[in-house]
Amino acid sequence: MLSLLVILSLSAPVLAGWLGPDGAKQGLLALLEAPPDFLWGGLLLALWPSTWGPPGLAAFGAAFLIAALPSEVRWLCAALPAETPFPAAYGTAAIRSSRNTVILHLMPRWLAARVPLWLTAALILERIFGVQGLGSDWMQRISGRDRLGIALWLFAFALLWRATRAWERR
């Protein structure tokens, strides 16, 4: 699940930078975002050939990315400022530079807002499908009173919070 969260946190800003502010109005993204998230997992189970055995983590990970990626990309695209009349008047290099700067400023806040939600969703999916993963390991650490694990968890959230505060001064 950790690799899925890394893939999601890297691919969403790249796609948002490629689509720009008009990506928030993309019909394909809205179409993929419209169905409930569990529909993709159910569709995977329904279409999975029984001769292959049960779907693995890679298949459920693909369903998770299909469910989560469109909404994250649309959120980031909606947060991008309008590009007309400026920087569009200066050409594609100025547009690309503007998008990259804005996405770099948005990334810490976006991650700070979304990572707890993703981890909670990962934990719920792991419990529903009965697989071991990032959330299960975290719950086992908490139940085992692993103080180092809790300290690292809180330190990671403190770093995310600090990263969001650094951009506010500018």
pLDDT computed for residue 84 by the predictor? 84
Mean predicted lDDT score pLDDT of the chain: 79
Total-model pTM: 0.71
pLDDT computed for residue 93 by the predictor? 92
pLDDT computed for residue 156 by the predictor? 78
Cα–Cα distance for residue pair 99/112, rounded to 1 Å: 20
Kindly report which listed range (69-73, 90-94, 96-100, 116-120) carries the lowest average pLDDT score.
Answer: 116-120
Q: Say what percent of the chain tops pLDDT 70.
A: 76
Contact 112, 163 (CB under 8 A): yes
Average pLDDT over residues 49-63: 81
Q: Which is more confident, 43 or 104?
A: 104
Q: Which is more confident, 87 or 32?
A: 87
pLDDT computed for residue 127 by the predictor? 62
Tens of pLDDT, residue by residue over 8-37, are: 899 999 999 999 999 988 888 888 887 776
Average pLDDT over residues 148-164: 73
Cα–Cα distance for residue pair 170/50, rounded to 1 Å: 56
Contact 4, 65 (CB under 8 A): yes
User: In angstroms, what CA-CA distances link 6 with 9, 11, 12?
Assistant: 5, 8, 10
Q: Is 64 helix (H, G, I), strand (E, B) or coil?
A: helix
pLDDT computed for residue 158 by the predictor? 76
- Residue 159 DSSP one-character state: H
Reading phi first (left if > 0) and then psi (alpha if -120 to 50, else beta), residue 9 is in: alpha
What does the domain layout of the chain look like in residue ranges? 2-168
Tens of pLDDT, residue by residue over 97-143, are: 999 999 998 888 888 888 777 777 766 666 666 666 555 555 555 55
Q: Does the pLDDT of residue 170 top 60, yes or no? A: no
